[in-house]
Chains A and B, each alone.
Chain A
Amino acid sequence: MNLITELPRATWLIFRMHLAATAVSRRALAGILFAAIPPLFAFLALNIGGDGDMGERVFMYLGVLVLLQVVAPALGVFLGIGAIADETEARTITYPFTRPIPRASVFLGRWLASLLVLSVLLLASGAGVAAITMRASSPPSPEAVQGLVGATLLAGVLYSLGAAVIGVIFKRGQVIALGYAFAFEVMLANIPGSAQKLSLQFYLRSLFVGDDGANWRSLEIFEPSKFLDASASSERLMVTAAILLAIGCITVTRKQFVLSS
């Protein structure tokens, strides 16, 4: 069988072999929690404090600052990095690599399995934000929703693929991939000037800002909520610290720490 016919066939088989395992992997379960953050924030923003008339703005802020700039890269890295790295860490890569299939099919099949799980998570996250903000009195336009969700899915493709490639090249690729996504990218994407064009974010943002950039400009008129006074603020910070201390103490008392030999 030649490479042209064998590559898609083997890729499909590898994809099917690993899809279920990827969907219930620890990475995916952590991803579910992460993907729930933007809808949760949207709900809190619109329902706590009575800002129910800010649907469009909440959608844009959460979409750009959280979903596109944090959640999509983070999930992309966590799920994409495992494509080959999980096989090498588990030392199972010997099996597909000693079969009569193109080696590339192992990478493609595993990455596609990760991408499907990632896309479902990002779609659910984006749809959740859209559903919550569209119930507000000033909802986002369908075009804005479509554009942002599309950009987020594309971000998932690019970040997961980049991470998968880094995972193939480097032994401990996760650190490098996270460093790229959250240091290099963020710095490049947010400093003024044409250096932004070196970041993925620049192009992803370009997908939904609109021809005149109106969607992006709406982000620049950010008006913070009214600040609390200092004593109320101190009180709440102390309560938060006490809760964290309690959680820490209970956890350290109950958890079994298994030490590596």
Chain B
Amino acid sequence: MSAIVLAENLGRWYGEVVGLGDLSVEFEPGITGLVGPNGAGKSTFMKLMVGELRPARGRLTVLGETPFGNRALHRHLGFCPQQDALYEHQTGRQFVRDLLRLGGWSRREADGLAVRALERVGLEDAMDRKVNGYSKGMRQRTRLAQAIAHGPKLVIADEPLTGLDPIARRQTNELFRGLAEDGCSVIISSHVLHEVENLTETMVLIHRGRLLAQGSVREVRRLISRHPSRVDLVARDPRRLATALLPLDHIRTIKLGADPGTLTVETDDIAAFHSAFAGVAAAAGAGVSGFKSDDASLEAVFDYLVG
């Protein structure tokens, strides 16, 4: 499958501040989560992808084209920016319609497409109200509507779930899944990892403007096998449990927690730990009452990666 986004040694600075360091990455079609902490370079990367910024170094192609000032490419891109900015004097419908008209649609066609997009994001009842009276979530959905209204091949959404209530969040996730089913690729950035985890298995982790890892959650986990898995335990006698676990080969560290009865174990082989734990704990008689492995959690992977 050919890459929809290809970045090679991509760099972008803001004066002396590094927005993106030296990023080389490929995005395949489908839904991809672009994950990283605040300041990782996600928004800079997205602005480069949609041609709002020009790279200071390296090469970037989106759908096979160089993005900056590429009008032909912009016909196939939809961008939902992070910033909460709309033309405040307009209604939601006018906003989406006028932006569609810039794409060459007639007024009637644009209005039809705008209404359809606003219905798709659940704003059918509010579309004729001025956007300056919208809630934060409604404004977010308006931004999404303008990004999908023209039927793009690729939607790039910068923190699209921020500010949405749980119901709107679920609807938005369904919207992205629907777009993907229709053949549209979606790139979503987030610093809240479970948001992306709920939506896609494919992710790209960046930090300080560089690629940390790429692949499915499991693949990323394998890539970082040098990092330990963490297990949080609660026991009546944590010291006895720690003493019993310590001889296991794959145990890297054991730390007693600040809360009474808690301890955290780091292991190099989570599967071996799972097999051995029940027997060791029972033999020690430490009274285990809590077991929480973060191994499957993207959050844990991310914590390890970014230190």
B52 to A102, Cβ gap below 8 A? no
Whether A90 sits at the interface, judged by CB under 8 Å, is yes
Least CB separation from A90: chain B residue: B85
Contact (A103, B69) CB under 8 Å given A17-B87, A90-B85, A92-B85:
yes
B46-69 CB mask vs A (1 if < 8 Å, else 0) is 010011100000000000000001
Q: Select the stretch in B75-83, B228-236, B259-267, B269-277 that faces chain A.
A: B75-83
Given contacts A21-B87, A91-B83, A91-B85, contact A96 B102 (CB under 8 A): yes
Q: A29 to nearest B CB, angstroms?
A: 14
Pick from B71, B87, B104: contact of A102, CB under 8 Å: B71
Contacts of B103 on A, CB cut-off 8 Å?
A: 99-100
Residues of B within 8 Å of A100, CB to CB, are 71-72, 74-75, 102-104
Q: Mark A74-101, 1 if CB is under 8 A from B, else 0.
A: 0000000000000000111011111111
Chain A contact residues: helix, strand, loop or mixed: helix
Residues of B close to A13: CB separation below 8 A: 98, 101-102
Contact A92 B71 (CB under 8 A): no
User: Per DSSP, are chain B's interface residues mostly helix, strand or loop, or mixed?
Assistant: loop
By a CB distance below 8 angstroms, the chain A residues around B71 are: 6, 100-102
The total of interchain contacts (Cβ-Cβ below 8 angstroms) comes to 57
Residues of A in contact (CB 8 Å), total 22
Residue of A nearest to B89 (CB): A21
Q: A13-B101, A21-B89, A99-B103 are in contact. Are A94 and B83 (CB under 8 A)?
A: yes
Chain A residue nearest to B83 in the complex (CB): A91
Chain B residue with Cβ nearest A101: B102
CB<8 Å pairs between A and B, sample of 17 = A1-B104, A21-B87, A24-B89, A92-B86, A94-B79, A94-B85, A95-B146, A97-B51, A97-B52, A98-B50, A98-B51, A98-B74, A98-B77, A98-B79, A100-B72, A100-B75, A101-B71
